[in-house]
Structure 1
């Protein structure tokens, strides 16, 4: 049996793992799934486990389990260090410690201490004003020259992004830290110079006090945030990189302070020939400065990981030309309303989504579809926000504005997917949860081992190597391994016109071995047109098209629209109907002039027991064998004619299917069209299989059947009838040219609506998964080698020891190397 409970007190994936493990350990529990986002725990049990036992399993923790619904009162998060600028926006942790949780202010992650990263916003950009650097009272709406002195005007009040502010703030602290750390380092290293000329100026005890004074700005200003983060990590027991850095450098600095104030408490091993205790101010400050350098480099690298979104944001224009009462005037983009008529001039960016009502042009859609060839557009063709007009002017009608535009939806989807977690990250999360306690344990064992087995001065060796172990370990690199690759990969997909809803879809796409595709709008152009009309002896061709168009005028199906459009072009007037009813997957029926009328496929004719003359059926079958779609027309229970509709196969479909098959995917077509048409299309495309006369339930059942056989199934479609199968498939792939319902049900959307986008998605998934594995190898390999070397395992054989300062260099660059490897995805060639 399976029961669902509500769990309160969970804030991050660590909480999720703890609750899941505690409940899983109970006798009688077979499997537990904990949903962090919805605060739910689904428990599969042999027999029902008493609720009191479930409560007892969590009684020693902050988590509580509840029967039924429970509205949790959210406790305040641990204090987040607020930036002085109080920058408003959307911020998230780059390590995704709390899943997709975001904050509205800059600061530190309350779990891992990392600087929160600002999400690129798709809000409308403000109009930029320009001013003169010599005469600030001069303000213009456009660039130019100052009317007073002739100087070029410069942008006024340029808003700096939060990540740039973080970078510049860290840069300032880094230079301050360097200014005070370098003298400390030179004083400490003077012992290596023969006869130490520094001692001729002042005795070492005085120099020690100077080192102490110089270390104060480094410890208590430039790098004090590391100690704040370390303290918070211990209090909340979310141990992380800053726990290790804080303990290691803090112990070294405090040791030196005690040695400076009360040197007599230390044994002779820690003292120099002059009787002064050996100071580690230089080790503490150099370590902290190098960690600060690592944070600085990370801040710079982070700004590149979401560069794809920033490039998309640049596409959004600030202004548009509206046509009202026969006059054209310029307005701000956020003033546009649905239905407004807009003029788009040559070279302008299209302001919102809409349809061309007058004129024609070629549109560069490469920035949102990934296809470099401009597309010809004419009256009734749709255009998208952010795409660039060619050399002709046209008038368009606004259909979607603000956050409803395709560009805004792409940006939102990319941002959301970038914050999601891939299943492979569970491995890194599990390792990270044990990482810091294990490293601290190794540090303690290192100290003990050197105390017992080390050469003299044993205490000094033990102290230095224990600190080196703490400093070199870097759980941060492990935590960043997956999210950095996901963020860059999702952005790369957006550039290619492949929109990925979440990281799980990006990972699972790599495992897909079976693809189910629809026909209309997926394999074909989705722009059907009527070729011929066949009527019986009692109904003329004109009467047949009038019946079809009259019934279909209330239907939104592409085939119905094609018949209505054909009737209009032929000058045939439609008539009023009653009792319109759509029969899913079959067709429509209604009453026309008191007669019962059916328009649909052969399955509808069979279901409604329509009398079908052999002669008409033979003609229809002949057209179906050519790959044409044939809707039948019946009046009062008798088949009286049919319409021949052609929907050309996309020029890219055949090659795309061949490429998918070469990647090891079995491609199966499922269509509501008849057997003859489906076979003709399948033969032309060399598909691995096909199924005709499919209802939406048939597609869903086929997905279940394949999944039960162990297949990893992707479903590609574009219609409302595809939505159930898209949602059930392991990966649902929607054509961006299709319906909103299909797109909402899918995990991947292809902006161009081209099967070749699936090839790109497959290649992208392979590249991202390979990149993640490389990052995990770097992070795990680095720590696996670095910690033992820092502990001194090479000393007995090679006499090699790792200075804490060298360990700090290695640690600082480990995270940067992971981010740098992830950034390689930006330049990787994906697909053909």
Structure 2
């Protein structure tokens, strides 16, 4: 007996394994399989177990996870949860736990930062309607309110969890300012001649007023900082909030202790009125400024993934479906594979599919980064989010929901944004020692001031020790890499360059050798038959029929060209038995009683088919023009050949020249013959090329280059490129190529254009430069700021850094790192 349940609360593979183990231990359960992505558990039972039995086991495990039946009630719960918590996927912006995500907003358990909401990869077209007078009334379609009869209006989209977090911080910041400002005025009144406040009340009473005003600031507006500080010490994940909690906490507790038992303190801590100097203004101003910094960071974070949000906006929420010649408007959630959809002039294309009727010009710049509209005719592929021109056409839906190119782009950008670049390991290592070192420096500062400082020595010692704790900012160091990666990956997506992970960005910036394939990479990958010739007694129609029949089972672009050509000629396709594809060479099979082989010269040699010198000379004429020629052999005898032309992409020569000017050696490896390869290489001014390369040969060449110390990137689009793509330092797949090539690559070019490699290289260089700027800024900031806070300038210049100024500087250090990362959005990457 097998049942499927929904599991709520899992966020990583560790959770998945834990749930699997917990359910497996339930008596009567034979086998459990948990899917993290689907959040589902398939439970095989000897006898039927109730949901309650499984729930008891989960609750005994600590209640971290919950189990539900898959049903309407569960989906309503999930829907309500997503309204409250955004799309239900949150992660730490500093990636402290790698790719780990959470289902609810909160703080990172390692660094204490607010978790950031991930943008949903699947656009939703569902529109809800509500009554303006009775918002509790929600319907899926327009109509009348059952209570008051008013027309229902479209419901405004719920604000994101990110926006909710910002609004919450904004409210707390307003409260903090409202109570901190009077504290600051009271504390600074001593600087006003005559101090008019002293005529109203004595200093002792003003100290108690400051204490009262500080309570909402400490215990409401900024209490989360102390919670994070406590958690960081408890788990020993020391971070920025550890320092803030200690620094501001010491200042506030010192002040409370001072007004409660003033006689405990020595005279040097007291004023002329016998009261002790209090630091309520320092504590509250520090906390308010840190809160202000968090507020700015929250706003800046929303801009770092703005590229993904812009991509998400591209998806329309409605489509026009054609059923039996009649048109109906539906939401994109209702589209299923095979639906016929009408796309009118100016409309956004709802899903991925193929045009079945009509033609138009489509603007694909939003996913390819290229501003030139593309002509689309019957049989052409169109993608979700692109914009139709003036024509109208009917398309057949082939990929919907998460399968569309737009959804895959958004998903890839999300995953890449959460990945860690190797350079981040340096920052993580430094951060690991950072907080204990700062605490040590703070203690040393206190001791040094007590021993060598002027009177009142303890006051100077306390203030400077607190300043050291407050100004130090491991947060800026931790944000340096992930912020640049997030913005850079988004920038790439808008330019048609999809980055699988941050490591690929770092590696791409270091490449010095680029290996490229010919067909579909340098050339357009849209080959066409330019001639077909029979040998001796063979009939040309029969040659074409055999070629088309064999190639109907092949995925190679050249094979598809011959099949399309044969269909146009009205050729009848014959049945093929014992079909076999030899990667990089050709295909073979049996048609009737005849053994048929089709492929390049290597295929003929391997099949022991003799090729006469006269036939070779005839073929070489076309090969020297850059054409590809495939021989056909029937019963081990040459029967004819087909000439296929594949135009070189207009951007190939310019892109290769730019890469060479950047110091990158470009090498062409092709499975085609030497004459064809030479013709293409000459057209592109490529001195380094190799022909007749099988997949294993390409792989061996990549390994040879790497053994020479080269940093090798490989660009290709076919199955035969997959081994080399996987072995290379950076694999670059043409988005127009096969799924195997794309899966093997670290970078995918949506348009399948060599100019995209120029963009990818420019992007990687820009991101790495930005990361280094951020790391330099963060390190220099702390290297200079901490000694100044400790008071090194005092002996020479008499300058000390107030803890309040230190808090302001600390807050802006993180914001400045994010601001620098945001500059990548306007960076030109194709020059």
For normalisation by structure 2, the TM-score amounts to 0.88
Alpha-carbon distance in 1 for matches of 2:152, 2:320: 25
Alpha-carbon distance in 2 for matches of 1:188, 1:480: 35
Written as runs of structure 1 = structure 2, the 5 A alignment for 1:164-203 is 164-203=163-202
Are the aligned partners of 2:736 and 2:752 in contact in 1 as well (CA < 8 Å)? yes
Q: Structure 1 pair 131/334, CA: closer, same or farther in 2 (3 Å)?
A: closer
Partner of 1:425: 424
Partner of 1:714: 713
Partner of 1:613: 612
Q: Structure 1 pair 83/491, CA: closer, same or farther in 2 (3 Å)?
A: closer
Partner of 1:16: none
Q: Structure 1 pair 227/397, CA: closer, same or farther in 2 (3 Å)?
A: same
Partner of 1:278: 277
Partner of 1:540: 539
Are the aligned partners of 1:517 and 1:717 in contact in 2 as well (CA < 8 Å)? yes
Q: CA deviation at 1:137?
A: 9.3
Q: Structure 1 pair 409/437, CA: closer, same or farther in 2 (3 Å)?
A: same
Q: CA deviation at 1:438?
A: 0.4
What is the CA deviation profile of residues 158-188 of structure 1, one whole-angstrom value per residue up to 9, with x for unaligned ones? 3111111111000000000011101111111
Q: CA deviation at 1:348?
A: 1.1
Written as runs of structure 1 = structure 2, the 5 A alignment for 1:78-97 is 85-86=84-85, 89-97=88-96
Partner of 1:730: 729
Are the aligned partners of 1:187 and 1:207 in contact in 2 as well (CA < 8 Å)? yes
Partner of 2:650: 651
Alpha-carbon distance in 1 for matches of 2:384, 2:106: 34
Partner of 1:516: 515
Are the aligned partners of 1:83 and 1:107 in contact in 2 as well (CA < 8 Å)? no
Partner of 2:234: 235
Are the aligned partners of 2:333 and 2:401 in contact in 1 as well (CA < 8 Å)? yes
Are the aligned partners of 2:125 and 2:318 in contact in 1 as well (CA < 8 Å)? no
Alpha-carbon distance in 2 for matches of 1:810, 1:277: 28
Are the aligned partners of 1:518 and 1:671 in contact in 2 as well (CA < 8 Å)? yes
Q: CA deviation at 1:580?
A: 1.1
What is the CA deviation profile of residues 319-356 of structure 1, one whole-angstrom value per residue up to 9, with x for unaligned ones? 21112222221222122121111111111111111111
What is the CA deviation profile of residues 140-175 of structure 1, one whole-angstrom value per residue up to 9, with x for unaligned ones? 9899999x99x9997525311111111100000000
Partner of 1:789: 788
Alpha-carbon distance in 2 for matches of 1:222, 1:736: 50
Alpha-carbon distance in 1 for matches of 2:701, 2:450: 68
What is the CA deviation profile of residues 526-560 of structure 1, one whole-angstrom value per residue up to 9, with x for unaligned ones? 01111111111211222211111111112121111
What is the CA deviation profile of residues 613-661 of structure 1, one whole-angstrom value per residue up to 9, with x for unaligned ones? 2222211111111110000011111112111100011111111110110
Q: CA deviation at 1:85?
A: 4.8
Alpha-carbon distance in 1 for matches of 2:110, 2:258: 34
Say if 2:633 is the partner of 1:634: yes
Alpha-carbon distance in 2 for matches of 1:476, 1:340: 50
Partner of 2:813: 814
Q: CA deviation at 1:361?
A: 0.3
Partner of 1:210: 209
- Return 5+ residue gaps in structure 1 as ranges: 1-10, 13-36, 38-72
Alpha-carbon distance in 1 for matches of 2:798, 2:602: 84
Are the aligned partners of 1:579 and 1:591 in contact in 2 as well (CA < 8 Å)? yes
Alpha-carbon distance in 2 for matches of 1:75, 1:764: 46
Q: CA deviation at 1:304?
A: 0.1
Partner of 1:622: 621
Alpha-carbon distance in 2 for matches of 1:84, 1:719: 43
Q: CA deviation at 1:593?
A: 2.6
Other structure's SS at 2:103 match: strand
Partner of 1:19: none
User: Which one is further off, 620-629 or 220-229?
Assistant: 620-629
Q: Structure 1 pair 796/709, CA: closer, same or farther in 2 (3 Å)?
A: same
Alpha-carbon distance in 2 for matches of 1:172, 1:635: 82
Alpha-carbon distance in 1 for matches of 2:584, 2:711: 26
Other structure's SS at 2:571 match: coil
Alpha-carbon distance in 2 for matches of 1:807, 1:124: 44
Are the aligned partners of 1:446 and 1:466 in contact in 2 as well (CA < 8 Å)? yes
What is the CA deviation profile of residues 766-805 of structure 1, one whole-angstrom value per residue up to 9, with x for unaligned ones? 1111111111111111101100000000000000000000
For normalisation by structure 1, the TM-score amounts to 0.88
Are the aligned partners of 2:597 and 2:632 in contact in 1 as well (CA < 8 Å)? yes
After superposition, the CA RMSD in angstroms is 2.5
Are the aligned partners of 2:523 and 2:646 in contact in 1 as well (CA < 8 Å)? yes
Are the aligned partners of 2:84 and 2:161 in contact in 1 as well (CA < 8 Å)? no
User: Which one is further off, 166-175 or 636-645?
Assistant: 636-645
Q: CA deviation at 1:480?
A: 0.2
Written as runs of structure 1 = structure 2, the 5 A alignment for 1:757-768 is 757-768=756-767
- Return 5+ residue gaps in structure 2 as ranges: 1-11, 14-35, 37-59, 65-80
Alpha-carbon distance in 2 for matches of 1:627, 1:430: 54
Other structure's SS at 1:433 match: helix
Written as runs of structure 1 = structure 2, the 5 A alignment for 1:418-497 is 418-497=417-496
